[in-house]
Amino acid sequence: MLSSYKKKVLLNILQEADKIIQIQIAGTSMYPFLKNDDTVFFNVSKNNTYKCGDIIAYYDDNSNIIVHRFIKWKKINNLIFFCQKGDNLLSWSWISIENLIGKAIFIITKDKKKIVLKKQFIKNRITGYIVLIIVLFYESAFKRKKNKLLNNSFALYLWQQLVLFVTNMQKIINNFIK
């Protein structure tokens, strides 16, 4: 396992060199867009710009590399965080910008098909904005009601149904916009 310091040093070296790295997918958190044994190529650069729906790689707290979808930025106490979510997951989380590795540029599927992500622009943006809507709804409801909205069992039920709806919409988009 890489220490936090070693991760930072390695990431800075890769970013300065403007390198392309490849990561093989293991898991189902981005299914059906990404599948087990797909290989994703990432641009690791300080010059990357991130937009809602982009596929990103980052380190989690256990130094595992995770591939999910970028949703939005947030600044808290002068620290920058990004919201990320797997397409096949119901939840999302905020990660420190220091753990961000890079942005996906293309995918080689298990059956050797190349998918250039610039051509997937509409699909990625639509999927990203669907998730953004749910994140914004949750955060504004949570702030306004100071936890009361989500403590109410009916409101919690509605929230769960909204999350399931958005997750299913993502799957439909991934299956029909190719």
Is the model more confident about 11 or about 93?
93
pLDDT of residue 79: 93
pLDDT of residue 177: 54
pLDDT of residue 124: 73
Max Cα-Cα span within the chain: 52
Note the helical H segments in 27-152: 121-145, 148-151
Alpha-carbon distance of 121 to 147, in angstroms, equals 36
Helix H or strand E segment including 43? strand 39-44
Q: Residue length, the chain?
A: 178
Q: Which residues contact 162 (CB under 8 A, 6 or more apart)?
A: 134, 137
pLDDT of residue 47: 79
Is the model more confident about 33 or about 174?
33
| pLDDT tens profile 36-95 | 999 999 998 777 899 999 999 998 888 889 999 999 999 989 999 999 999 888 788 999
| pLDDT tens profile 128-174 | 777 787 777 777 766 655 555 445 565 666 666 777 776 677 667 66
Domains of the chain: 4-176 (2.10.109.10)
Give the CA dihedral 164, 169, 174, 178, nearest 10 degrees: 180
pLDDT of residue 85: 92
H and E: helices and strands count for the chain: 4, 8
* DSSP per-residue letters across 118-140: GGGHHHHHHHHHHHHHHHHHHHH
The reported pTM is 0.75
pLDDT of residue 62: 84
| pLDDT tens profile 87-136 | 888 788 999 998 899 999 999 999 999 988 876 767 777 777 777 877 77
Nearest to 34 by CA among 89, 102, 99, 83: 89
